[in-house]
């Protein structure tokens, strides 16, 4: 049988160049897997960081990319509930060889979500990793997350309790705001550029502290001025997670509260019940093996209801070739408030 091939963007070697190649093999799905024809792929900061550092990649050449949407092309043994031609979105997982920056990829069948009829591929591709990172960090049981709602019970609410999101205009930050809104937190305060204030308020933020006028060190005082009398911050989500932002978030949170960070900047902390944790946002992470599939089963309904809305999209031309410049823009902090999306079939 002739091996089927495709076009893919390859990281040729550790910390090496990225190049579009033809003739990359199309894999066959194994048990519990599906093959997806990738219609849209979104870029994430982790993509340029992997290209720079080599983290997560063991073998080269390698395909990167964590967010995708497309059509079910083939189905592996034991997969139920999916058919060829179904429109789906999924988070890829580089360590397993699942990757979005190619025309076809394998993904785990229990970690895909069917697209509502009114959701297009580009919008869908903005959701998976950002949503999963926000949801795991806030909802999953401790120590995998803050443990706010590990059973995903819609009746659980935190009415009248404040929350803070640092980096609200980032993809993860936008989903964290939406999830906090579904849990009835109020006020929901975020630190972001003022130009995104109206949009972030439409997602559920009640107050936006302008990072253009308030420096990192002055965040605690700005937040305290917005808290209702007698309340304390028990939930702080750091969607940027540099050492300085984590120190500020630690200073903000109450003595029995929790800071959720998306990457390691300072060490995990547990001081008298006050905690700072670093979470693994991918649904494929071993700590999320039970929570991840439950979360993904719930996602379609949330999108259909409008409880969760996608990030805003900037479409990049050139198919897979457009990724290289997009990653450079992200590395140079030249992207704000939108998700960059490419269309691999246009390559």
Task: List the CATH number of the domain containing 333.
Answer: 3.90.180.10
Q: Is the pLDDT of residue 345 over 70?
A: yes
Q: Is the pLDDT of residue 312 over 90?
A: yes
Q: Is residue 105 domain-shared with residue 227, that is, in the same domain?
A: no
Q: Is the pLDDT of residue 266 over 80?
A: no
Q: Is residue 168 domain-shared with residue 187, that is, in the same domain?
A: yes
3-state secondary structure of 121: helix
Q: Is residue 135 domain-shared with residue 105, that is, in the same domain?
A: no
Q: Is residue 207 domain-shared with residue 249, that is, in the same domain?
A: yes
Average pLDDT on 207-213 reads: 98
Sequence-ordered list of residues with C-beta below 8 angstroms from that of 258, at least 6 positions apart, any chain? 142, 146, 234, 235, 236, 274, 275, 276, 277
Q: Is residue 120 domain-shared with residue 141, that is, in the same domain?
A: no
Does residue 287 form part of some domain? Answer: no
Q: Is residue 70 domain-shared with residue 181, that is, in the same domain?
A: no
Q: Is residue 22 domain-shared with residue 138, that is, in the same domain?
A: no
In angstroms, the CA 190 to CA 181 distance is: 12
Q: Is residue 70 domain-shared with residue 169, that is, in the same domain?
A: no
pLDDT digits (tens, 9 = 90+) for 105-140: 999 999 999 999 999 999 999 999 999 999 999 999
Q: Into how many domains does the chain fold?
A: 2
Q: Is residue 204 domain-shared with residue 248, that is, in the same domain?
A: yes
Does residue 289 form part of some domain? Answer: no
CATH number of the domain within which 235 lies: 3.40.50.720
For position 28, what pLDDT does the model report? 96
For position 272, what pLDDT does the model report? 84
For position 3, what pLDDT does the model report? 77
Q: Is residue 85 domain-shared with residue 170, that is, in the same domain?
A: no
Q: Is residue 102 domain-shared with residue 138, that is, in the same domain?
A: no
Does residue 297 form part of some domain? Answer: no
Q: Is the pLDDT of residue 1 over 60?
A: no
For position 4, what pLDDT does the model report? 94
In angstroms, the CA 77 to CA 214 distance is: 55
In angstroms, the CA 70 to CA 250 distance is: 40
Does residue 80 form part of some domain? Answer: yes
Does residue 261 form part of some domain? Answer: yes
In angstroms, the CA 225 to CA 141 distance is: 31
Which residue range forms the structural domain that includes residue 72?
Answer: 5-126+312-346
Burial class for 260, CB neighbours closer than 10 Å (0-12, 13-18, 19+):
buried
């Amino acid at each position: 049988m002739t091996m089927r091939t495709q076009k893919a963007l390859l990281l040729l070697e550790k910390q090496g160049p990225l190049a579009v190649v033809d003739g990359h093999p199309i894999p066959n799905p194994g048990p519990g897997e599906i093959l997806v024809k990738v219609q849209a792929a979104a870029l994430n900061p982790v993509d340029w960081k992997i290209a720079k550092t080599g983290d997560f990649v063991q073998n080269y050449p390698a395909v990167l990319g964590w967010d995708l949407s497309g059509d079910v092309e083939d189905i592996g043994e034991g997969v139920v509930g999916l058919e060829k031609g179904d429109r789906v979105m999924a988070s890829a997982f580089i360590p397993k060889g699942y990757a979005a920056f190619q025309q076809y990829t394998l993904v785990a069948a229990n970690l895909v979500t069917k697209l509502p009829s009114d959701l297009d591929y580009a919008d869908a591709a903005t959701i998976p990793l950002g949503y999963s990172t926000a949801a795991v960090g806030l909802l999953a049981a401790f120590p995998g997350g803050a443990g706010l709602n590990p059973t995903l019970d819609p009746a659980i609410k935190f009415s009248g309790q404040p929350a803070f999101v640092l980096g609200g205009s980032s993809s993860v930050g936008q989903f964290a705001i939406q999830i906090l809104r579904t849990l009835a937190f109020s006020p929901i305060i975020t630190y972001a550029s003022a130009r995104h204030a109206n949009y972030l308020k439409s997602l559920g933020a009640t107050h936006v502290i302008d990072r253009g006028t308030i420096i990192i060190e002055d965040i605690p005082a700005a937040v305290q001025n917005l808290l209702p009398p007698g309340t304390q911050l028990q939930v702080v989500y750091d969607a940027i997670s540099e050492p300085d932002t984590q120190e500020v978030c630690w200073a903000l949170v109450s003595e029995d509260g929790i800071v959720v960070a998306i990457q390691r900047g300072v060490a995990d902390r547990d001081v008298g019940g006050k905690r700072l944790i670093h979470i693994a946002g991918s649904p494929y992470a071993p700590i999320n093996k039970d929570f991840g599939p439950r979360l993904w089963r719930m996602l379609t309904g949330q999108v259909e209801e409008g409880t969760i809305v996608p990030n805003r999209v900037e479409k990049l031309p050139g198919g897979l070739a457009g990724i290289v410049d997009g990653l450079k823009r992200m590395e140079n902090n030249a992207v704000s408030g939108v998700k960059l999306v490419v269309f691999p079939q246009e390559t």
